Chains A and B, each alone.
Chain A
């Protein structure tokens, strides 16, 4: 898994590539926590190149979403989410927790 974080004007764009499973989830969690630690709660996750998300990965997504939404300071937006990953979210019932976007620009417009 590779993570690239690009700070934007009022949010952070995180591009994730590869598998988010129980081995890679801790490092994703760490990267995302580093963003919120700096009091930045608007996060866009570009997941177009994520080919698998395990339940450990879902946990990270939920955790960061809970942190960002707490106190209504921000939110995590999901961009370009592949069908299979969407199905994983759908299966556990997590779709209502997130807003989904087709591209980064439309997600950027949201903030």
Chain B
């Protein structure tokens, strides 16, 4: 049976075939499963071409997912037919058309190998006899389908398939989802449980553990974990230098991936949990502080590629942030509650209350806010407490204790009775040095440290644990009670289980001890003053008055108006120590005239400027103002009317339990007291004033404590609001927009703007803003290039917060003119008391600077992603205090940290998606193109043919093709599709198949191009066109018939002739007009003549200097060229282009072919 042309060549039928092929190409460029692919191939071949087909695939495909559910039999066969097996071995198309079918082959068959390059995946068998109406070009179509099908198989097999991309993109999305669901959780315990479940559930890891630093001891970690059995009870993990992957990660603060436990070089399999094959450990860092670590364990090897690390890295940052937020919230809440409670305790103190009652109240409070089984309060015997620290232990008296009986009942012992006896032996009697200090050196360690201490050695017992017979790993915390640097006692809490107390307990205990000290000391003061009715009345009045006031100004006002009357003087005035500028400042006066008050107000008392204040600060004792303690200048300016012989002013310290917070000056000049009053009266007065001053100082300090705690709570709440804003939006611009809007509300900022760094163009781009007019924004500029805005460049380069003091007439458009001398960097200093970075501004330089422009780097791990500028609000009067500014900077710094995370997240996502999609497209496009280019050119007697194809990074749609038309004639095609990348590659496969099909049917090149154009039109969208040169050569005569549709004219060089002939255009490029006229020309290629075909990638190659290679350079090269071989000719041209572009990437594909008719031998 021979192939008959179909009687009516039908465009419509062909067009539908094109569409099928195009759709197959589309399927290839998107997600596909093997099953859908086979079904589709079967569908098009059966429905468009009416062939019955059978597909056989190599056994390696049997375990590829997606094949289940596909009934073997009709389409997919499990056993190859003899011809399929032959095709598989021989890697070429075989048909038995025209021969007598072998046994077992019922009819005429054609089998196409499914292969890419030399790799065969299976075979596609066509049952020729089953087709009724057949067109000759159908085989070309089916070979085209086979090629695309093969490519798809190639991708599936080599796992270049998008599954992988989906997986990595999936990680990012999952990490983001987890981040979102944990960031808004403020409950620490539920946060951790939630996090564990999410990690376990989303990623399906066998085990997930979280290690949390406990704060008290850097080597002790709280470990909580989850496995398929659920959440495991909390354990303690001890960090050790050296062994173990977790310790490795903690010591280096770097992520650790172990992808095959048994092959690990650094660790032995015993270092890992049972059945674990691979694991990933990430340190959790908040800013630069270590919070803990998370460990993900899998029972399979190789679960953690480096590509997922970035997603996890970001997740780790978010986890650290969430933990940090929850901890802040937790401790702020706790401390606040405790504070309120203790305030109440102090408030209910009265002279009638006994010390024992007070201690019981304190024990009640301890029971409410701490976990313990036994607690005790030891107090120093007051009378003897004058000899200095270290000597006191011998005089400690067990003043109160409590045992929570319930905890003991579990142990089965009647400890309560027993211990009570033991305690009673100690109770209310001072303990001898030998008894307590030598037995329990831990107690003196606590007293000497002045801060609470958590018991951390199994060898150091303290009395409670020892008496109660706790195991050696029991927990204890001791808090010393200090007032004016004098110890008054110690509180000890104990718990029979290990590791009950952490940094949280520590800070709570510290706060508790301070309040307890005040309460005890106050009570003692009352007691001591009991006989002196008037003193106690004064003190009680001061106490009553001060405790109920919540505002510093009101408090001071009350004190200065109350004290003169109580003490019997006319006037007094208060100076407070201002920590930020390190000076005493006048705050409030009573009884002085206006003139004097004005002089006080103008007086800033820096250390070294007034001897009286220096002495006060140094000794903490009252100072009489006399000629020694005041300089002449001060006397002249501040006390011009003061008569040193007659008048008397005394400066008293305002000292709370720890520090000097100010001074109070009494004017005794016109009082009943005189310089010559008896020593006794003076002492009494001094005692009274000292008591009142202490009350006042305590009240001031309490107010400051409340204020700072409110600020701390405020900071964390501000940051939480930002965090919540961030998680509630998906788009970066929405997130940044909410940040620039929230910031002004939170911290009193007038304008706020974010610039993002574009690291491709190396410019800053305006992003979101608040408080700017359209005009101001324009003046600032959308895009900021180098040297246009030195202020933000400095922030970027130094990676530090910078500020600049604005003048009243500075407006946004002058910001870019701020020169390097006019701004300063803020140094971040790590303060001793807390892990937070505290912001310190230079007080002197900022004095009277009403408005600052402050710029923050938006950076992550030293990479600056952008800059945020804030402009302070215009103050109502004066300039904002340093404290407010520092606080503001701290809050905004926290906000910018979160903004940076959001930006980085977005960049990572974008990059991941873009680069993966692009890479995949590029790869696929190149792959398609390579597949459709001839593997090798035929070896034709008398002819020497070579070709080159060098794809640009973004593949253009170049191709060449050679067709064996009959024994004497070959067809040669060179073409260029006007597009790049995937669309060009797909279009090119269409053109190639179309030309092949048309060439089988028509012998005239003009007719072939015309038919291709006709078929292209319906598909050609958006001006898509292709330039094609197609020629038919007679091998024997050298006659060449060609048509050129807008392609770069091939060059013919005749032997012994200098000039070249250009085979110019005979019609317009294809795909533009519906109907085109195509001219056809011919010439004879004589022996020794050659023809060069090329695409515009050659003549339009650009050099680094943006020069174009051009036709002239090509001509110069060819005109002086002595022909050696077609191969050498092409090498020469490619070499010349390479030299010209010198390392610049090709902007377009370079495609060349040379056809040489060998001289007759």
Which A residues are closer than 8 A to B by beta carbons?
Answer: 21-22, 52, 54-56, 58-63, 66, 91-94, 96-97
Contacts and interface: CB of A to CB of B under 8 A. Distances in A.
User: Most A CB atoms within 10 A — which of B1049, B1065, B1069?
Assistant: B1069
A92 B1046 contact: yes
B1072 A63 contact: no
Nearest to B1096: A55
A74 B453 CA distance: 88
B572 interface: no
A11 to B, nearest CB: 21
B958 to A, nearest CB: 10
Contacts, number: 61
B871 interface: no
Interface string B1131-1161: 0000000000000000110000000000000
Contacts of A21: 1147
Contacts of A93: 1045-1046, 1065, 1067-1069
Given A54-B1100, A94-B1068, 14 more contacts: A21-B1147, A22-B954, A22-B980, A22-B1147, A55-B1027, A56-B978, A59-B1022, A59-B1023, A59-B1025, A63-B1023, A91-B1046, A92-B1069, A93-B1046, A94-B1072
Contacts of B1023: 58-63, 66
Nearest to B1095: A55
A22 B1100 CA distance: 12
B657 interface: no
Contacts of A60: 1023
A94 B1024 CA distance: 13
B976 interface: yes
User: Most B CB atoms within 10 A — which of A52, A54, A60?
Assistant: A54
B34 interface: no
B979 A56 contact: yes
User: Most A CB atoms within 10 A — which of B1045, B1046, B1065?
Assistant: B1046
A58 B1147 contact: no
A92 B1024 contact: no
Contact of B1065 (A22, A66, A91): A91
Contacts of A63: 1022-1023
Contact of B978 (A55, A66, A96): A55
19 contacts: A22-B956, A52-B1100, A52-B1108, A54-B1147, A54-B1148, A55-B976, A55-B1096, A56-B979, A58-B978, A59-B1023, A60-B1023, A62-B1025, A63-B1022, A92-B1069, A93-B1065, A94-B1046, A94-B1069, A96-B1068, A97-B1072
Contacts of A66: 1023
A91 B1048 contact: yes
User: Most B CB atoms within 10 A — which of A56, A91, A94?
Assistant: A91
B1025 A92 contact: yes
A97 B956 CA distance: 24
Nearest to B976: A55
Contacts of B1148: 22, 54-55
Nearest to A62: B1023
Contacts of B1046: 91-94
Contacts of B1025: 55, 58-59, 62, 92
A56 B980 contact: yes
A12 B980 CA distance: 29
Nearest to B1147: A21
Contacts of B1067: 93
B39 to A, nearest CB: 35
B221 to A, nearest CB: 53
State the majority secondary structure of interface residues on A.
helix
Contacts of B1048: 91
A52 B1048 CA distance: 16
A63 B1065 CA distance: 22
A102 B354 CA distance: 108
Contacts of B1068: 92-94, 96
Interface in B553-587: none
B1106 to A, nearest CB: 8
A55 B1023 CA distance: 11
Contacts of A92: 1025, 1027, 1046, 1065, 1068-1069
A15 B452 CA distance: 77
Interface in B976-991: 976, 978-980
B964 to A, nearest CB: 29
A96 B1108 CA distance: 26
Interface string B1057-1091: 00000000101110010000000000000000000
User: Most A CB atoms within 10 A — which of B954, B1023, B1048, B1147?
Assistant: B1023
A3 B656 CA distance: 73
Interface in B1015-1050: 1022-1025, 1027, 1045-1046, 1048-1049
Interface string B151-195: 000000000000000000000000000000000000000000000
Contacts of B978: 55-56, 58-59
A55 B1147 CA distance: 12
B1075 to A, nearest CB: 13
Contacts of A94: 1046, 1068-1069, 1072
Contacts of A62: 1023, 1025, 1072
Contacts of B1022: 59, 63
Nearest to B978: A55
Contacts of A97: 1072
Interface string B940-979: 0000000000000010100000000000000000001011
B989 to A, nearest CB: 18
Contacts of A56: 978-980
User: Most B CB atoms within 10 A — which of A22, A55, A61?
Assistant: A55
Nearest to A63: B1023
A54 B1100 CA distance: 8
A22 B952 CA distance: 12
B392 to A, nearest CB: 82
A10 B1069 CA distance: 32
A89 B452 CA distance: 86
A82 B213 CA distance: 72
Contacts of A55: 976, 978-979, 1025, 1027, 1096, 1148
User: Most A CB atoms within 10 A — which of B976, B1025, B1045?
Assistant: B1025
Contacts of A61: 1023
B975 to A, nearest CB: 12
Nearest to B1076: A93
A44 B100 CA distance: 69
B1027 A59 contact: no
B162 to A, nearest CB: 24
Interface string B911-950: 0000000000000000000000000000000000000000
Contacts of B1100: 52, 54
B869 to A, nearest CB: 30
A60 B1022 CA distance: 8
Interface string B1081-1123: 0000000000000001000100000001000000000000000
Contacts of A22: 954, 956, 980, 1147-1148
A93 B1027 CA distance: 10
A64 B1069 CA distance: 17
Nearest to A60: B1023
Contacts of B1045: 93
B1123 to A, nearest CB: 26
Nearest to A53: B1100
A96 B1069 CA distance: 12
The 3 residue pairs across chains A and B that have the minimum distance between CB atoms: A93-B1068, A63-B1023, A92-B1046
Interface in B828-876: none
Nearest to A93: B1068
User: Most A CB atoms within 10 A — which of B978, B1068, B1148?
Assistant: B978
A80 B103 CA distance: 74
Nearest to A95: B1068
A59 B952 CA distance: 19
Contacts of B1024: 59
A79 B230 CA distance: 76
Given A22-B954, A92-B1025, A92-B1027, A59 B979 contact: yes
